[in-house]
A and B are shown apart, each in its own frame.
Chain A
Amino acid sequence: MKPAPFEYFCPDSLDEAVVLLAGRAAEAKLLAGGQSLVPLLNFRLLQPAALIDINRLSELAFLAEDRGGLRIGALTRHHALETSPAVAALFPVLSEAMAHVAHLAVRNRGTIGGSLAHADPAAELPMVATLLDAEIRTRSAAGPHTHDARDFFTGPLSTVLADDEIVTEVFLPALPPRTGSAFAEFSLRRGDFAIAAVAATVTVADGRITAARLAVAGADERPLRLDEVEASLAGQCFDADLVETAARLAGESVNPFTDLRASADYRRHLVAVLARRVLTEAHARIAVGAA
């Protein structure tokens, strides 16, 4: 269980990293937290000719409030997100999700940019980015680029990123006023990958839902937004029957897989149960916050 040999580069700046990657994009991998990449190297499932270690790019480790939203540098560690007062105040659903991300020793190293680029379909961060309509900002030799999180993930461990593109930051746009949010996950042990996870935001005005968002992880080949369920909630008055119908629709609208941990039917059931919980909880939290 030792990695195959590779050439190692440790740039001090983003500009330098962009140039290094542009020169050997096809055979190089970026090393950020390494919590997903290094197991793949140890198993020799990946044998890149070069690793470009971006851990010294301190310019990519930041959290900055911006127009009521949040800019999160790609090298921000999971533990920093978990404990950030700004994240807790602006995007409590992200704080809630972070508590489910692996274990402390992994959260100390893992980064948001790495998690999004790795694109595990059961991971929390890609799903929360999808929920919150995040903008994923990148750099390559061709210049800066922005991807919508909803178009970013294309399949298991697959994204739209080009070989020479580096994720530099994630922008979470401000939530509308009178919005509540919630996250729920089912896994065998705390910190394991989700068998299913669901998160929601619910926005109300004048007693009606003006917008609802529902995102799911672990139930498909990539994190999903459930557009049909969201549409069924918009314009409606919130009540238990509405949530029950929406939750059932959520379970029916995913197309999960069967693996060693859970059957497709069980995952569909979990999505419905968790959807009911997060929609109810998200709505309850607005009532409290809007007093």
Chain B
Amino acid sequence: MSKHRTIKATVNGIAYERSVEPRLLLSDFLRQTLGLTGTHVGCEHGVCGACTVLIDGDSARACLYFAVQADGRHIETVEGLGTIDDLSPLQQEFREHHALQCGFCTPGMLMTCVDLLKKYPLASDAEIRDGLSGNLCRCTGYEHIVRAVRAAAARRGRKDDG
């Protein structure tokens, strides 16, 4: 077994210090070491997008990143967005537009959308679909997810205006 390393990382605003084996994926670190099982693991080779989290504010696949790389970094997961009693505005749009069925892809969809909303105008459905193209959903047919993102993008615009 390769040598463990101690890392200090902030996850959803909480500082953690843990000893990790270098080959431990960030996705497994979050789920198994920290017990944050909101981040889902699908394909484990960067195709499905289910494990998407924010690393220093930018969306990234947690299955393509080693926990040891997170030393000194800020990680945000779906647990940091909102709670069942206090959904984030984006989560609220997902609920209102029925943008999930089984919910497996939802954490990755949400974290992807947080970053998309920050970086792109999302002025057309074509642009929204391009933005979502790295996240697979096998239930919804995407239509309701597109509607939720469209609503979130419009709400963001109103907020900027006012």
Cα of A106 to Cα of B2 in the assembled complex, Å: 28
Given contacts A7-B2, A42-B45, contact A105 B133 (CB under 8 A): no
Whether A8 is near chain B, meaning CB under 8 Å from some CB there, is yes
CB-based contact B58/A34 at 8 Å: no
Chain A 6-40 residues near chain B, CB threshold 8 A: 6-8, 10, 31, 34-35, 38-39
B contact residues around A62 at 8 Å (CB): none
Whether A88 is near chain B, meaning CB under 8 Å from some CB there, is no
CB-based contact A189/B58 at 8 Å: no
Cα of A53 to Cα of B25 in the assembled complex, Å: 14
Given contacts A105-B49, A105-B59, contact A7 B22 (CB under 8 A): yes
CB-based contact B2/A8 at 8 Å: yes
The contact of B61 among A2, A3, A51, A105, by CB within 8 Å, is A105
Chain B 64-119 residues near chain A, CB threshold 8 A: 64-66, 68-69, 71, 112, 115-116, 119
A contact residues around B28 at 8 Å (CB): 2
Given contacts A2-B23, A8-B68, contact A109 B60 (CB under 8 A): yes
A contact residues around B65 at 8 Å (CB): 34, 38, 109
* Proximity string of chain A (99-111) to chain B, C-beta cutoff 8 Å, 1 when within and 0 when not: 0001111101100
Residue of chain A at shortest CB distance from B2 = A5
CB-based contact B22/A38 at 8 Å: no
CB-based contact A4/B134 at 8 Å: no
CB-based contact B64/A35 at 8 Å: yes
A contact residues around B52 at 8 Å (CB): 105
> What is the total number of residues of chain B having a CB less than 8 Å from a CB of chain A?
37
A contact residues around B120 at 8 Å (CB): 104
CB-based contact A191/B45 at 8 Å: no
Residue of chain A at shortest CB distance from B28 = A2
Cα of A41 to Cα of B2 in the assembled complex, Å: 15
The contact of B112 among A42, A79, A105, by CB within 8 Å, is A105
A contact residues around B64 at 8 Å (CB): 34-35, 38-39, 109
CB-based contact B69/A55 at 8 Å: yes
Chain B 25-72 residues near chain A, CB threshold 8 A: 25, 28, 44-46, 49, 52, 55, 58-61, 63-66, 68-69, 71
Whether A145 is near chain B, meaning CB under 8 Å from some CB there, is no
The contact of B3 among A7, A104, A108, by CB within 8 Å, is A7
A contact residues around B2 at 8 Å (CB): 5-8
A169 → chain B, closest Cβ, in Å? 22
CB-based contact A8/B134 at 8 Å: no
B contact residues around A10 at 8 Å (CB): 68-69, 71
A contact residues around B155 at 8 Å (CB): none
Residue of chain A at shortest CB distance from B65 = A34
Cα of A10 to Cα of B52 in the assembled complex, Å: 24
Cα of A31 to Cα of B69 in the assembled complex, Å: 10
Cα of A200 to Cα of B29 in the assembled complex, Å: 45
Residue of chain B at shortest CB distance from A103 = B134
CB-based contact B22/A6 at 8 Å: yes
Cα of A10 to Cα of B3 in the assembled complex, Å: 14
B contact residues around A41 at 8 Å (CB): 23
The contact of A108 among B45, B49, B59, by CB within 8 Å, is B59
The contact of B134 among A39, A55, A102, by CB within 8 Å, is A102
23 examples of A-B residue contacts, CB within 8 angstroms:
A4-B23, A8-B5, A10-B71, A31-B66, A34-B65, A35-B61, A38-B46, A39-B64, A41-B23, A42-B45, A51-B22, A55-B69, A79-B58, A103-B49, A103-B135, A104-B112, A104-B115, A105-B52, A105-B59, A106-B61, A108-B60, A108-B115, A191-B134
B residues sitting closer than 8 Å to A (CB atoms) are 1-3, 5, 21-23, 25, 28, 44-46, 49, 52, 55, 58-61, 63-66, 68-69, 71, 112, 115-116, 119-120, 129-131, 133-135
Other A-B pairs beyond A8-B5, A105-B134, 5, CB < 8 Å: A53-B68, A55-B69, A102-B134, A104-B131, A105-B52
